[in-house]
C-alpha cells in the first residue's frame, strides 16, 4: 500500500513474485480481440528505429498495490486515452538520438519513480481490482521515423485519421483476457529536420486527465532541467482511503462493466466474422469510413459573443460545448423529433467532502448528462438551448456530486448507441505548457475519439484566451460541421 503522503510504504506492501501477471468522458468498451484488430488495421507503416522499455530506477520503488476505487472501476473496460504532442525540431534523426533521446529516457525513468503505477498493471483478485507494481516493471518506449509532412500533420485542417493514429503507441492486451496488460506506452516519431511527435497512450483505469497531465508536465520539467533529479509539477498522492464508498458503488460498477464488456466481446466477434466474410477488397474498415481529424478554434472574442448570446452567466466550457454540440447535430442531419444527448465528465476532487488534494493520482471524475430536442438545437436558438441544458447539468452537481452516482454507468451504456456529445480534455489542463526543452508544443491532439464521435477540448495554442475543439468524423460530416461552425 501507500502512505498518506502518496509514497510507497514498504512495511504495508504485499510482496509478489516476478512471475505474477503482470476531464474527459470518452467512454468505449473494448475487448482484446477488437483492440488488436483496430491497431493492426489503422497503423501506417513507419520506420521503427528502436523498441525498448523504461523502468523507474532499480530498487527505487518497493512492490506496491493500490486498490481501485469506484471512480477507477467505471473505466475498467474503456479504451486508452491517446494524446499526441507535436514539437518543432529542425534537426536530423541522428541528432535527436545522440543528444536528446538519452535525456528523454532518463527523465522518464526518474519521473516514473514518483508515478510508478504507470509502469505496472491492473489485476483482479476475486471481485476486487488493484494496480500493482513490482521492481522491474516498465513502460514500452518506441522511436520511429516518418517522411510525412510535419506541418500538415500538426495543422488544424482535416487530416488522415489513420496517419495520426499511427503516431500513437498501442497498448497491447493480454490474449484472451478482458483486463491486464500495460497501463502506458510511449512513442516518439522523428520527422527529420522538421519536428517531433511524442505519442502517449494511457489506460483510463489508471488515471484521469488531471493525473495524466500532471505526469506529463512532471516528465517535461525533469527533462527540461537536464534529468539530474525529478521535478514534480504536483507530487502525486495515492491514498485511497480518501475516497469513501458508502453506497457500494464499486460493486455496482463492476457488475455493469462485466455485463457491458461481455456484450462488447460478442459484438466484436460478430464484427470480425462479418468482415472476414465480406467480399469487399476496397481497403480496411477505417479507410472505407473516410475518417479525418480536424481542429477548430474559438477565439476569446467569439466566446464572449456566445456568452452574451446565451443571456446568462456561463462558463467558457459550457458555451464552447454548446456551440460544438449544435454544429454536430447539424452535420448529422438527424430527424428533428429525435432527442440529442450529452455525457461529459466533471472533476470531483474539490467537490467531494472532504475534498481531495490537487495531486490525488487516479480517477476522480463524475458524470453529468444533458438532453435536448434535436429540432430546437438546429434552429436559430440552438446554441442557447444547448447551453441551458449543459449549464443545468453542471449546476445539478452542486447538490451533491455523488447524487445518483449508482446510475452513472447504466446511463452511459444507455446513451452510447445514440452518439452523445462527450468531451475529452479541458482548457484547464494547459496542455500547451508541456515543454521538454524544445519549446511549447506546436499542436496537441487527442486521437482516441473515433469510437463514439466525441470531441476534445483544450486551450488554444495560438489564440490567448481561445479554445481548441478537435473531432474525428467522416469527410462528409466534417465538411458539414465546418460549415455550421463558421456560419
* Cα-to-chain-centroid distance, residue 81: 3
Taking CA atoms, 267 is separated from 26, 132, 238, in Å, by: 19, 30, 36
Rounded Cα–Cα distance for residues 85 and 68 (Å) = 29
CA angle 208, 316, 345 (to 5 degrees): 25
Active site residues: 204, 435
**Contacting residues for 431 by C-beta, under 8 A, at least 6 apart:** 83, 85, 213, 425, 441, 444, 458, 459
Contact status, residue 156 vs residue 296, Cβ threshold 8 Å: yes
**Contacting residues for 286 by C-beta, under 8 A, at least 6 apart:** 41, 42, 161, 162, 450
CA angle 98, 440, 349 (to 5 degrees): 115
**Contacting residues for 485 by C-beta, under 8 A, at least 6 apart:** 296, 323, 324, 327
Residue reference for cell 503522503: 5
Amino acid at each position: 500500500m501507500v502512505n498518506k503522503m502518496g509514497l510507497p510504504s514498504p512495511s504495508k506492501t504485499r510482496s509478489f513474485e516476478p512471475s505474477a501477471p503482470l476531464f474527459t468522458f470518452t467512454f468505449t468498451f473494448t475487448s482484446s480481440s477488437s483492440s488488436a484488430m483496430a491497431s493492426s488495421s489503422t497503423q501506417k507503416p513507419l520506420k521503427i528505429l528502436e523498441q525498448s522499455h523504461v523502468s523507474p530506477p532499480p530498487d527505487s520503488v518497493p512492490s506496491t498495490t493500490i486498490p481501485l476505487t469506484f471512480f477507477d472501476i467505471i473505466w475498467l473496460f474503456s479504451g486508452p486515452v491517446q494524446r499526441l504532442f507535436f514539437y518543432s525540431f529542425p534537426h536530423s534523426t541522428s541528432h535527436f538520438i545522440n543528444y536528446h533521446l538519452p535525456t528523454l529516457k532518463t527523465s522518464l525513468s526518474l519521473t516514473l519513480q514518483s508515478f510508478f503505477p504507470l509502469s505496472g498493471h491492473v489485476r483482479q483478485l476475486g471481485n476486487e481490482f488493484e494496480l500493482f507494481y513490482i521492481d522491474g516493471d516498465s513502460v514500452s518506449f518506441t522511436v520511429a521515423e516518418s517522411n510525412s509532412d510535419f506541418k500538415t500533420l500538426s495543422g488544424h485542417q482535416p487530416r488522415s485519421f489513420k496517419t495520426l493514429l499511427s503516431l500513437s503507441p498501442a497498448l497491447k492486451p493480454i490474449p484472451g483476457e478482458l483486463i491486464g496488460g500495460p497501463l502506458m506506452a510511449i512513442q516518439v516519431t522523428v520527422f527529420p529536420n522538421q519536428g517531433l511527435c511524442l505519442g502517449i497512450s494511457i489506460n483510463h483505469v489508471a488515471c484521469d486527465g488531471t493525473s495524466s497531465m500532471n505526469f506529463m508536465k512532471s516528465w517535461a520539467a525533469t527533462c527540461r532541467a537536464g534529468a539530474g533529479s525529478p521535478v514534480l509539477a504536483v507530487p502525486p498522492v495515492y491514498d485511497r482511503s480518501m475516497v469513501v464508498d458508502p453506497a457500494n458503488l464499486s460493486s455496482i460498477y463492476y457488475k455493469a462493466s462485466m455485463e457491458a464488456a461481455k456484450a462488447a466481446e460478442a459484438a466484436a466477434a460478430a464484427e470480425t466474422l462479418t468482415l472476414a466474410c465480406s467480399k469487399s477488397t476496397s481497403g480496411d474498415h477505417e479507410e472505407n469510413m473516410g475518417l479525418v481529424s480536424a481542429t477548430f478554434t474559438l477565439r476569446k472574442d467569439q466566446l464572449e459573443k456566445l456568452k452574451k448570446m446565451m443571456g446568462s452567466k456561463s462558463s467558457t466550457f459550457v458555451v464552447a460545448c454548446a456551440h460544438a454540440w449544435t454544429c454536430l447535430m447539424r452535420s448529422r442531419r438527424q430527424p428533428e423529433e429525435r432527442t440529442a444527448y450529452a455525457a461529459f465528465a466533471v472533476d470531483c476532487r474539490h467537490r467531494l467532502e472532504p475534498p481531495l488534494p490537487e495531486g490525488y493520482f487516479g480517477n476522480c471524475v463524475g458524470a453529468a448528462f444533458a438532453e435536448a430536442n434535436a429540432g430546437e438545437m438546429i434552429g436559430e436558438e440552438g446554441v442557447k438551448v444547448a447551453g441551458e441544458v449543459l449549464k443545468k447539468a453542471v449546476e445539478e452537481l452542486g447538490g451533491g456530486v455523488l447524487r445518483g452516482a449508482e446510475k452513472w454507468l447504466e446511463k452511459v451504456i444507455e446513451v452510447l448507441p445514440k452518439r452523445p456529445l462527450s468531451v475529452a480534455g479541458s482548457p484547464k489542463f494547459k496542455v500547451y505548457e508541456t515543454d521538454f526543452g524544445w519549446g511549447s508544443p506546436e499542436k496537441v491532439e487527442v486521437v482516441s475519439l473515433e469510437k463514439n464521435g466525441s470531441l476534445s477540448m483544450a486551450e488554444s495554442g495560438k489564440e490567448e484566451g481561445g479554445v481548441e475543439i478537435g473531432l474525428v468524423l467522416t469527410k462528409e460530416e466534417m465538411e458539414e460541421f465546418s460549415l455550421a461552425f463558421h456560419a
